[in-house]
Structure 1
Amino acid sequence: MGKSSKDKRDIYYRKAKEEGWRARSAFKLIQIDETYQIFDGVKRVVDLCAAPGSWSQVLSRRIYGDGSDPQVKIVAVDIQEMAPLKGVVQIKGDITKLETAQQIISHFDGGLADLIISDGAPDVTGLHDIDFYGQSQLILSALNITTHTLKIGGTFVAKMFKGDDMSLMFSQLKLFFKHVSFVKPKSSRESSLENFVLCRDYCPPQNYQPEIIDPSLENHDHLVNKSNEQDYINKLVVPFVAIGDLKGFDK
């Protein structure tokens, strides 16, 4: 299916074609970095839900560059394959699986990431509750794998949709990061509900041990054992709740 005439009139759509970006979404990451300097000092990066690869392309050009720094390592993860990119290692994997986190760490020689990004979004069904629930669960899955692969003090950036649940999401992410804010780069259409959550200075709760939570579970009460401090601390993360409107998704 071809692009709509609205897309073709869009300045960032045209710029992406002219500059060789895989999608106009590349400018969103570029503008987040220009405003918040999220690439500063970054050597190890993970791009979750990476396909078709526009954000990985930005990482390749802006962080890997000419490949002169052997410490730079970029890992892109998606259940779909994407065309190769210079300096980017691809993992075809599911971000809800522990083995995917282990694969990421193996590419960092046992180290952890400085920066983790995710521009992923669920397929839109047109049903309000299902689509917003799907997006919040995607962020939860990204956070789960981030707790396994991000270093203390690291940064996490993920797409989200604006809605009444933003304060809840803010509170949940504040359990793991000292600084959390919602940002909207100028290349994100004004008519779109799309925002990005920018989380800096990763600092999980004391005694928290990373684990992969199955987002399909509605009730984790059977996992809580207050006699086990580590289990109890791990269950302090409130399951994400999603509500809102579907108008204006940014493709």
Structure 2
Amino acid sequence: MKKNRFKKAWLNEHLHDPFVKRAQKENYRSRAVYKLQEIDEIHKLLRPGQIIVDLGSAPGAWSQYLSRKLGDGEGSLRGEVIALDLLPMEPVGGVRFIQGDFREAETLAQLEAALQGRGVDVVLSDMAPNLSGIASADAARIEHLADLSLEFARKWLKDDGALLIKSFHTGYFSQIVNRFKLQFKTVKTIKPKASRDRSAEVFILGLDPKPTEVKPE
């Protein structure tokens, strides 16, 4: 009974959510697009001509936003978007999609091959682990995904690049932020309006990587 009440409450909230209604009206695949849009509008992250990697892209709302942002109005992109997710994703105009697990070396190799040695302007990550309900285990999984994103950004971001990841307030959150501060000159934590108040979700933005010797081959 308790589970059924929870489902009904969630469905009621979902149906009356203004961001859900807006996403439906504007033909976006999920309300998550407005989290990225707000961050982009405030921090001026995205612009035509960039190479952008979209991690954890399914169902594709962020990729849709990127396609519209970089689109030339004739079905082509001024720039390039490479999206990746463990789950399948319906095609998004102009976006190259790789299906695979970012934690696996084979998938990472596919992504790096697609870059063809080119530096990346912006890495976006909306990845989140499957949660077990065990706080310590879930926090460790969240930390691991953050570390993988930081490692990828360290190798591939351009000197003026940016990394934006979704994270959660866990026991490891301050450690993740500190790692961002070691790697980026500017670090911000952001709670977009489209992120529900009851959610522990928070985004971490790193701007202007600090000098590193690791560069694309």
Q: What range describes the TM-score normalised by the shorter chain of this pair?
A: 0.7 to 0.9
Question: In the alignment, what sits opposite 2:85?
Answer: 78
TM-score by length of 1: 0.75
2:193 partner amino acid: K
- Residue 198 of structure 2 corresponds to residue 191 of structure 1: yes
TM-score by length of 2: 0.86
| 1:209-249 alpha-carbon deviations (Å, 9 max, x no partner) | 78xxxxxxxxxxxxxxxxxxxxxxxxxxxxxxxxxxxxxxx
2:195 partner amino acid: S
Q: Secondary structure of 1:157's match?
A: strand
Partners of 2:209 and 2:125 lie apart in 1 by: 16
1:19 partner amino acid: E
Question: In the alignment, what sits opposite 1:122?
Answer: 129
Aligned residues: 209
The worse-fitting range, judged by mean Cα deviation, of 159-168 and 60-69 is 60-69
Partners of 2:100 and 2:47 lie apart in 1 by: 28
Aligned pair in 2 of structure 1 residues 70, 195: CA closer, same or farther (>3 Å)?
closer
Partners of 1:85 and 1:41 lie apart in 2 by: 17
Deviation at 1:156, TM superposition (A): 0.3
**Identical aligned residues as a percent:** 32
Q: Secondary structure of 1:90's match?
A: strand
The residue correspondences of 1:33-52 to structure 2 (distance < 5 A) are 33-40=40-47, 43-52=50-59
Question: In the alignment, what sits opposite 2:15?
Answer: 8
Question: In the alignment, what sits opposite 2:4?
Answer: none
Question: In the alignment, what sits opposite 1:168?
Answer: 175
Preserved CA contact (<8 Å) 1:121 1:159: yes
| 1:184-206 alpha-carbon deviations (Å, 9 max, x no partner) | 1111111111100000001244x
- Residue 147 of structure 2 corresponds to residue 140 of structure 1: yes
Question: In the alignment, what sits opposite 1:227?
Answer: none
| 1:67-110 alpha-carbon deviations (Å, 9 max, x no partner) | 58765110001122210000100112332344544433443442
Partners of 1:42 and 1:166 lie apart in 2 by: 33
Q: Secondary structure of 1:152's match?
A: strand
Preserved CA contact (<8 Å) 1:112 1:149: yes
Preserved CA contact (<8 Å) 1:105 1:111: no
Larger % of helix: which? Answer: 2
Partners of 2:123 and 2:150 lie apart in 1 by: 10
Q: Secondary structure of 2:182's match?
A: coil
Partners of 1:170 and 1:47 lie apart in 2 by: 20
Q: Secondary structure of 2:138's match?
A: helix
Unmatched 5+ residue regions in structure 2? 1-6
Partners of 1:189 and 1:60 lie apart in 2 by: 25
The residue correspondences of 1:89-100 to structure 2 (distance < 5 A) are 89-100=96-107
Unmatched 5+ residue regions in structure 1? 211-251
The worse-fitting range, judged by mean Cα deviation, of 107-116 and 29-38 is 107-116
Question: In the alignment, what sits opposite 1:57?
Answer: 64
Aligned pair in 2 of structure 1 residues 148, 189: CA closer, same or farther (>3 Å)?
same
Deviation at 1:40, TM superposition (A): 4.0
Preserved CA contact (<8 Å) 2:183 2:210: yes
